[in-house]
Amino acid sequence: MGGAKTDIKLIDENGLRFDGRKPDELRPIRIEANVLKRADGSAYLEWGGNKVIAAVYGPRECHPRHMQDPLRAVVQAKYNMASFSVSDRKRPGPDRRSQEISKIISEAFEHVIFTHLFPRTSIDVYMEVLQADAGTRCAALTAASVALADAGIPMRDLVSSCAAGKVQDTIVLDLRKEEDNFGEADMPLGIVPRTGEIVLLQMDGDLTLEEFNKTMSLATEACHKIYELQKDALRRKYGVTDDEDVQESVDAVAESVPDRQEEAEEAFEDEQEES
Ligand code: CDP
């Protein structure tokens, strides 16, 4: 990003991209919920050349025990790239990049999950990238969000994610590998569509303020489209056909979940006094 030179014409004379897309066009996305038998919730997602599977377990007893939080569930997201997912074999196991992505995804979900309902537990979210073509953190976050809903984890809303950036002086949506490698900027965004809150924002490269605003609005608009695809995947799986029904049940969960924060804190204080 930002420096590598290429002879590839990433934007042609008609303003179209390397793969024929317009600057504000997403790659094709397909999401399927509930694809794994053993997990509490799961999802499979194809997004252009990306293929990601997400599996959710929990809330379950938190291990290692020292990670337990007496007031809330901890969200442990684990992003992993398969060795065969990239053109050069990726060395198996955790590396700095996957640890960073796991951390930011855990933090994004901590903002939407009602963690205070499940003290001392862990909600484990596994994301396996089977094939990578740039934008895998957005793809993993989007898939994992559907898997969490499939697991029945109470949340304020789904998280939807998409990147936008700058390629050969043009602001473009949803960069693919060549654009990511030879472009000037890439900015992954994750939002809570119902409220517009930002739960993930990173940037690789440079943008002026004006370019940043344009990139933000492109990515935000795309997140709302992806939100519809996520809900659609859940609707197809659970046979709900009416969009209003889905929105109603999302609203009902959000309103009916009691705020047990105070209750949990009092229980914790009592316990401290006793010991
Ligand atoms: O995938 P994402 O855009 O979220 O993260 P990145 O660190 O910007 O990586 C961009 C792309 O580079 C990945 O999607 C992969 O296609 C590729 N990559 C790779 O080929 N080998 C790696 N070890 C890491 C990334």
Give the tens place of pLDDT for each residue, 192-220. Answer: 999 999 999 999 999 999 999 999 999 99
Distance CA 151, CA 173 (A): 30
- Of 51-60, 129-138, 234-243, where does mean pLDDT reach its minimum? 234-243
Upstream peptide bond of 59 is cis (omega within 30 degrees of 0): yes
Question: Total structural domains in the chain?
Answer: 1
Asked if residue 1 belongs to a domain, the reply is no
Q: Among 213, 220, 164, 173, which residue's Cα sits nearest to residue 192? A: 220
Residues 246/142/188/105 CA torsion (nearest 10 deg):
110
Quick one: average pLDDT of 7-34?
Answer: 95
Classify 88 as helix, strand or coil: coil
The mean of the pLDDT values for the chain is 92
> Which tokens belong to 68?
């337990």
Task: Name the residue range of residue 139's domain.
Answer: 29-257
Instruction: For ligand 1, pick from 97, 180, 181, 182 the residue to mutate: most ligand atoms within 8 Å of CB.
Output: 180
CATH number of the domain to which 169 belongs: 3.30.230.70
**Identity at 127, one-letter amino acid code:** M
Specify whether the CB–CB gap between 178 and 6 falls below 8 A: yes
Quick one: average pLDDT of 212-235?
Answer: 98
Distance CA 221, CA 217 (A): 6
**Identity at 239, one-letter amino acid code:** G
42 strand-pairing partners = 55
Residue 188 CA: nearest ligand 1 atom is 4
Asked if residue 270 belongs to a domain, the reply is no
Asked if residue 4 belongs to a domain, the reply is no
Asked if residue 7 belongs to a domain, the reply is no
Tell me, what's the pLDDT at 89?
A: 93
Cβ-Cβ contacts under 8 Å for 190 (sequence gap 6 or more): 108, 138, 141, 159, 160, 161, 198, 199, 200, 201, 223
Q: Is 177 close to ligand 1, i.e. is its CB under 6 Å away?
A: yes
Model confidence at 274, pLDDT cuts 50, 70, 90, reads confident
Unique residue bearing structure tokens 């990726």: 90
Asked if residue 266 belongs to a domain, the reply is no
Asked if residue 61 belongs to a domain, the reply is yes
Asked if residue 67 belongs to a domain, the reply is yes
Asked if residue 272 belongs to a domain, the reply is no
84 has pLDDT over 80 = yes
Q: Is 63 close to ligand 1, i.e. is its CB under 6 Å away?
A: no
**Identity at 136, one-letter amino acid code:** T
200 strand-pairing partners = 190
Quick one: average pLDDT of 81-98?
Answer: 95
Instruction: Give CA separation, 24 vs 30, 132, 212, in Å.
Output: 18, 21, 15
2 has pLDDT over 60 = no
Residue 90 CA: nearest ligand 1 atom is 23
